[in-house]
Amino acid sequence: MEKEESMSTDRKTLEKIIGNALSGKGSHVEAKNLLAGLTWRAAGTRGKGAPHTIFQVVNHMIYWQDWVVKWLEGEDPQVPKHASGGWPGAPAPASAKEWRQVARRFRSGVAGLARRSRKTDPLAKRGKSSPLEMLQAIASHNSYHAGQIVVLRQMLGTWPPPSGGVTW
């Protein structure tokens, strides 16, 4: 009985760690708030010297979130032959509606990854990787790009979001 309780506690701790990593909670502005208050025009504006717009970065994050979801669901998604294959779409949204859809898809993708992480054995190996490794990779990937989005928003004068954020 004690071993089962320990495994249950370990599982809950692991779920919390994965959830926090995916959301950014405790590390930086949470993913659900990253794009809040950002207009569609600002999302499609390239800051001076910036290689991408926020819209492009978000679509890139969605691409890889979707890739990891497919992997978690047992599919064998192909990795693009070139980095450009993971950067889909136009530099800017065509409308406010398109921007809202992309922002919603990003937030939904983060929430979906967290849900799937609770439905899988995070340590079960599948090929060379485990779900935990894939979830850690996408959490780190999103965290990296969240930092880029913060800098781009600072360049555009649209930071912090309405919920607040680290501003130093």
The whole-model pTM stands at: 0.92
Q: Which alpha helices (H) appear in 24-130, and where do they start and end? A: 31-34, 40-43, 54-72, 96-118
Indicate whether 1 pLDDT > 70.
no
Contact 53, 41 (CB under 8 A): no
Q: Is residue 92 part of a domain?
A: yes
- Tell me the per-residue pLDDT of 54-105, one tens digit each, with 9 for 90 and over: 999 999 999 999 999 999 999 999 999 999 999 999 999 999 999 999 999 9
Per the structure, the complete domain to which residue 7 belongs is given by 2-156
Q: Is residue 96 part of a domain?
A: yes
Q: Is residue 41 part of a domain?
A: yes
Q: Is residue 167 part of a domain?
A: no
Helix, strand, or coil (residue 88)? coil
Task: Give CA 63 to chain center in angstroms.
Answer: 10
Domain tally for the chain? 1
CA gap 74, 31 in Å, rounded: 25
The enclosing domain of 147 has a CATH number of 1.20.120
**Percentage of the chain lying above the pLDDT 90 cut:** 86
Please, what is the Cα angle at 63 between 61 and 65, to 5 degrees? 65
CA gap 142, 154 in Å, rounded: 18
Q: Is residue 163 part of a domain?
A: no
